[in-house]
Amino acid sequence: MLENTLTGLVSSRLLSSLKKYLTEIICVLFLTVVVSGFSQSKVNTFLALSDTLVSPRVKLVVVSQTVLTATALIGLNELWYSDYPKSDFQFKNDNNHWLQMDKMGHVYASYHFGRISSEMLAWSGVSKKKQLLYGATYGLGFLTAVEIMDGYSEQWGFSWGDVAANATGTALYISQELLWNEQRLQPKFSFHTTSYAAQRSELLGSSLSEQILKDYNGQTYWLSANVHSFIGETFLPKWFNVAVGYGAEGMITAEPKPGDERYRQWYLSLDVDLTKIQTKSHFLKTCFSLFTTIKIPSPTIEISSSQGFKFHPIYF
């Protein structure tokens, strides 16, 4: 009991310290903008990519990523895993859960964690090779650490299916950089509330923020393709995309149960590649890079075994 108390105290103090350092980093970034007098030219200079290695930027990226990663992992352990009993390391085959919607989430998260990390290193002037080696693999490394934590939880277990999905997301980013030196295909996400969450709020979430993460019935994962990048000159704008989506409904349990009515959904929709919008503002480019993770609401065709063919004037 004393050991558990001391461990909890140390974890609490460490988490407090990490939060302090993270707050300091955010304050430094905020003050950098404030001190610049909100001058657009100075903000643009700060956010602009560097052609040469800038050591202070590299240190900022490394320290901030380290603090964020440590805070996230300790936070998960304290706020999530601590509510469930521990176990010896175990494996679990969950490939038939949630009609593989959770696996789509792993692909999406691994891709964008790696993409953003790689772009941060590019901002620091790090070489392309190191961007892919140390940046693009960040998502795979972080999610593997989370998977190991799953392995020591009696509630879950280490899933090779999750690891394969994480590797797929990382490979999707790296392969496009090596093949085309750009991201022509981007995983994206959209969400709408459903009636299923009210049936099992403890599992699917009681608040909107919880439902976005837990209610797989309302999630849609997309693969958005930039038309101009594939076919070259066209009358269509460079930011015009076509997206194929995957979703599922009828799920109030992870595993299929006799008599349940879960079914898959496929979508075809229009989209926008925000990173292809021409602008000289590096602030806007940064915003576009962050928000390109989200699918733009637009007219959509849905095909499913339950609904058949259905047209949505606007779908998100």
Residue 3 is assigned to a structural domain of this protein: no
* Domain shared by 294 and 204, yes or no: yes
Per-residue pLDDT band for 47 (boundaries 50, 70, 90) equals: confident
Tell me the per-residue pLDDT of 193-252, one tens digit each, with 9 for 90 and over.
999 999 999 999 989 998 999 999 999 999 999 999 999 877 899 999 999 999 999 999
pLDDT in tens, 2-11: 334 333 333 4
* C-alpha to C-alpha distance for 11 and 118, rounded to whole angstroms: 30
- Rounded percentage of the chain residues whose pLDDT exceeds 70: 86
- Indicate the residue among 179, 205, 231 that finishes a domain: 179
pLDDT at 41: 67
Is 304 found in the same domain as 200? yes
- Domain final residue, candidates 179, 206, 230: 179
Residue 276 lies in a domain: yes
Q: Is the pLDDT of residue 70 over 90?
A: yes
Q: What is the pLDDT of residue 39?
A: 56
Q: Examine the domain organization and report whether 174 and 36 are in the same domain.
A: yes
In a domain, 45, yes or no: no
* 124 pLDDT tier (thresholds 50, 70, 90): very high
Q: Tens digits of per-residue pLDDT, 171-197?
A: 999 999 999 999 999 999 999 999 999
User: Does 4 reside within a domain?
Assistant: no
Same-domain pairing of 107 and 93: yes
Last residue of a domain, one of 136, 155, 179: 179
- pLDDT, residue 258, reads 86
For the cut 60, the answer to whether the pLDDT of residue 284 exceeds it is yes
Indicate whether 158 and 188 sit together in one domain.
Answer: no
Q: What's the chain's average pLDDT? A: 87
Mean pLDDT of 149-161: 93
* 173/33 same-domain check: yes
Q: Is residue 1 part of a domain?
A: no
pLDDT at position 14, please? 43
Do 15 and 155 reside in the same domain of the chain?
yes
pLDDT: which is higher, 78 or 178: 178
Residue among 219, 171, 215 at smallest CA distance from 191: 219
- % of the chain surpassing 90 pLDDT: 70
**148 occurs within a structural domain:** yes
3-state SS of the chain is CHHHHHHHHHHHHHHHHHHHHHHHHHHHHHHHHHHCCCCHHHHHHHHCCCCCCCHHHHHHHHHHHHHHHHHHHHHHHHHCHHHCCECCCCECCCCCHHHHHHHHHHHHHHHHHHHHHHHHHHHCCCCHHHHHHHHCCHHHHHHHHHHHHHHCECCCCECHHHHHHHHHHHHHHHHHHHHHCCCCEEEEEEECCCCHHHHCHHHHCCCHHHHHHHCHHHEEEEEEEEHHHHHCCCCCCCCEEEEEEEEEECCCCCCCCCCCCCEEEEEEEEEECHHHCCCCCHHHHHHHHHHCCECCCEEEEEEECCCEEEEEEEEC
For residue 251, what are the domain limits?
A: 184-316
In a domain, 2, yes or no: no
**Same structural domain for residues 71 and 120?**
yes
Number of domains into which the chain is organized: 2
| Residue 31 lies inside a defined structural domain of this protein | yes
pLDDT of 15 reads 44
Q: How confident is the model at residue 32 (pLDDT cuts 50, 70, 90)?
A: very low
Report CA 4 to chain centroid distance, whole Å: 33
Q: Are residues 111 and 226 in the same domain?
A: no
Residue 201 and residue 172 share a domain = no
pLDDT category, 48, cuts 50, 70, 90? confident
Mean pLDDT of 275-292: 91
- Shared domain for 31 and 162, answered yes or no, is yes
Asked if 196 and 170 sit in the same domain, the reply is no
- pLDDT of 23 > 70? The answer is no
Confidence of residue 45 (pLDDT cuts 50, 70, 90): confident
C-beta of residue 242 within 8 angstroms of C-beta of residue 225:
yes
